[in-house]
C-alpha cells in the first residue's frame, strides 16, 4: 500500500507505516454530547469512516475507537438549565449522535468508550505524571506542568509565551499556562474519588487515558477537527509523551463546515441539524455532500451546493439501477487506477469521485450501445469505488432508508424475483403454460423480462 497522509505534527505528507504490520489503529475524538448533532459534528466521523474503509480494503485489520465525552462543563450547564439530570441529558444526546451516524452510513466504531467509564485509567495516568514531575495536585485539582515538558507546542506550533488554556478556574495553579487534568468537586456536580480528593476529569485527560486503554501506549492515527489542535490535542500529546507513551504516530485533522465563513456551532445559532436535512435529502445524498470535498478543505454550506451534490449522486445511482434493471445486479468489481491513486494521496476524495463519474459516463455509453459486458463491468467498478466511500447505491441501507423510491424499488425487486423464481421452476418441470402465465402477468404490469445465458433479468418498460 502506498497511502500517504498529511501529518499535522510534521506539516507534511508521510507514508503510512503502521505500528503493527497488517493492522491499523485509529482514535477519533467523538462527540461531547451536550446537544443534538448537526452536519458540522458528523463530518469528522464520516471522514474517518472513509479512512477506515480504505485501510480495510487494503487488507488492514482496523481498530477504530471513537470516544463519547459524557461529562463536561457544557453538559452540566445545559442539563441544569433544562432541569434534567446530567446523565440523562448526556445519554439522550448520545443516542441522537448514534442515530445520525447510522443514517449516514457510518460503520460502527470498534468501541465507543465513555469518559465516565474510565476514571481508573485517568487516575493511573495522573499518578505516573506526578511521579515523573510533570503534574502536581493543588486544592483538590491536578494540573499538568507545561514548563516541565520542553516539546510543548510542537503540534500547534505555538510558543510557550503565547499559550492561553482558556480555563477560568485557576485555583492552585503554579502557572496560568498549566492545564487541568482533574477538577476539584463543586456543589451539585457529579464526583469520583481520587487520592487527591473527589472531583471530575478534565477533557484532555479523558482522551489520553481512553486511547491508550484500547489501542496501547503507541498507536497509528489520532483524528479530529482542526479546532481540536489546540488546546485539546496539544495537551493530549504533552501528557501522553510526558508519561512515557509513544501515543499517536500520525495526527489527522479535518476542516469545518462553515456558514457565512464562520464555523458551524450552536453558540452562533447557525447549525443545520441532521434530522432537518434528512427531511430534504436522502442519507446517501447528504453523505456524498460531506465526504466529497477533501477532508482538509472547508465546506461552506449552501442550498445550491447541497443540491449539486444531490444531482451528482443521483447520476451515479441512476446508472447503477439502470444496469441492474436491464442486465441484472452487477457484482462488486475492481477499482480503477485513478481512484486508487487519488485515495492514496491523502484520501483525495474529489479525485476519487471524478474517477467514479468518468466510469459512469463510459458505462452509460456502453449500456445505450447494448454492450452488455462493458456496462456490467463499469457498474461493478462503480459499486466497488462507491463502496469505499460508503455510497454504494445497492447497499441495502440506501435501498431501505434513503428515499421512498429506494424502498419501493427494493419491494418491487423482492416481488419480481419471487415470480421469476416460480417461472424458472415451471420451466424446469416443462410446465411452459405456467411459465408463460408468469411472464404475461409481469408484462401486463409494465415489467419486461429478458432471458439470458446467466438467467432471467427484468426492467421497467419505460426505464
How many whole angstroms separate alpha carbon 238 and alpha carbon 165? 14
454 has pLDDT over 90: no
The Cβ-side half-sphere exposure at 456, using a 13 Å CA radius, reads 20
Q: Which pLDDT band, with edges at 50, 70 and 90, does 400 fall under?
A: low
What average pLDDT does this structure show over 270-293? 92
User: What pLDDT does 83 receive?
Assistant: 97
Lowest-confidence region among 144-153, 190-199, 242-251, 262-271: 262-271
Q: What is the pTM of this model?
A: 0.86
Domain boundaries 295-401, corresponding CATH code: 1.20.120.640
- The region that residue 83 occupies, defined by phi over 0 for left and psi between -120 and 50 for alpha, beta otherwise, is left
Percent of the chain predicted with pLDDT > 90 = 80
**pLDDT exceeds cutoff 50 at 181:** yes
Which class would CATH give 4-268? Answer: alpha beta
CA 393 to CA 240: how far, in whole Å?
Answer: 42
The pLDDT tens digits for 31-58 are 999 999 999 999 999 999 999 999 999 9
Q: What is the pLDDT of residues 334-372, one digit of tens each?
A: 999 999 999 999 999 999 999 999 999 999 999 999 999
Which sequence spans correspond to the domains of the chain? Answer: 4-268, 295-401, 404-460
* Phi, psi of 85, rounded to the nearest 5 degrees: -60, 140
Distance CA 307, CA 291 (A): 15
The answer to whether the CB of 366 falls within 8 A of the CB of 329 is: no
Amino acid at each position: 500500500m502506498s497511502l500517504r497522509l498529511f501529518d499535522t505534527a510534521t506539516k507534511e505528507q508521510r507514508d503510512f507505516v503502521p505500528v503493527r504490520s497488517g493492522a491499523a489503529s485509529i482514535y477519533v475524538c467523538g462527540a461531547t454530547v451536550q446537544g443534538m448533532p448537526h452536519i458540522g459534528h458528523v463530518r469528522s466521523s464520516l471522514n474517518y469512516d472513509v479512512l477506515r474503509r480504505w485501510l480495510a480494503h487494503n487488507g488492514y485489520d482496523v481498530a477504530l475507537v471513537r470516544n463519547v465525552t459524557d461529562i463536561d462543563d457544557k453538559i452540566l450547564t445545559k442539563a441544569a438549565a433544562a432541569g434534567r439530570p446530567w446523565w440523562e441529558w448526556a445519554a439522550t444526546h448520545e443516542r441522537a449522535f448514534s442515530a445520525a451516524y447510522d443514517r449516514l452510513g457510518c460503520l460502527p466504531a470498534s468501541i465507543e468508550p465513555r469518559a465516565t467509564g474510565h476514571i481508573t485509567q485517568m487516575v493511573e495516568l495522573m499518578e505516573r505524571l506526578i511521579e515523573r514531575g510533570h503534574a502536581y495536585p493543588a486544592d483538590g485539582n491536578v494540573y499538568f506542568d507545561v514548563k516541565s515538558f520542553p516539546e510543548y507546542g510542537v503540534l500547534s506550533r505555538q510558543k510557550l509565551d503565547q499559550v492561553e488554556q482558556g480555563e477560568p478556574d485557576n485555583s492552585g495553579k503554579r502557572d496560568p499556562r498549566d492545564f487541568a487534568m482533574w477538577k476539584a468537586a463543586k456543589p451539585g456536580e457529579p464526583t469520583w474519588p481520587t487520592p487527591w480528593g473527589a472531583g471530575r476529569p478534565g477533557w484532555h485527560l479523558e482522551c489520553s487515558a481512553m486511547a491508550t486503554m484500547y489501542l496501547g501506549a503507541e498507536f497509528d492515527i489520532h483524528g479530529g477537527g482542526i479546532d481540536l489542535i489546540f488546546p485539546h490535542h496539544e495537551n493530549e500529546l504533552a501528557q501522553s509523551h510526558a508519561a512515557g507513551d509513544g501515543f499517536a504516530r500520525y495526527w489527522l485533522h479535518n476542516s469545518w463546515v462553515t456558514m457565512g465563513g464562520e464555523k458551524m456551532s450552536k453558540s452562533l445559532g447557525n447549525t443545520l441539524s441532521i434530522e432537518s436535512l434528512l427531511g430534504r435529502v436522502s442519507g446517501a445524498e447528504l453523505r456524498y455532500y460531506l465526504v466529497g470535498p477533501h477532508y482538509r478543505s472547508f465546506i461552506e454550506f449552501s442550498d445550491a451546493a447541497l443540491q449539486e451534490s444531490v444531482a451528482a449522486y443521483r447520476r451515479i445511482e441512476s446508472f447503477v439501477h439502470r444496469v441492474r434493471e436491464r442486465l441484472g445486479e452487477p457484482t462488486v468489481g475492481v477499482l480503477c487506477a485513478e481512484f486508487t491513486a487519488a485515495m492514496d494521496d491523502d484520501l483525495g476524495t474529489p479525485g476519487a469521485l471524478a474517477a467514479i463519474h468518468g466510469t459512469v459516463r463510459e458505462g452509460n455509453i456502453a449500456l445505450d450501445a447494448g454492450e452488455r459486458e462493458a456496462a456490467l463491468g463499469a457498474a461493478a467498478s462503480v459499486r466497488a469505488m462507491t463502496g469505499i466511500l460508503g455510497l454504494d447505491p445497492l447497499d441495502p441501507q440506501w435501498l431501505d432508508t434513503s428515499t421512498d423510491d429506494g424502498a419501493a424499488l427494493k419491494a418491487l425487486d423482492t416481488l419480481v424475483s419471487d415470480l421469476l423464481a416460480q417461472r424458472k421452476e415451471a420451466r424446469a418441470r416443462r410446465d411452459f403454460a405456467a411459465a408463460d402465465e408468469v411472464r404475461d402477468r409481469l408484462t401486463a404490469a409494465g415489467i419486461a423480462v429478458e432471458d439470458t445465458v446467466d438467467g432471467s433479468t427484468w426492467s421497467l418498460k419505460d426505464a
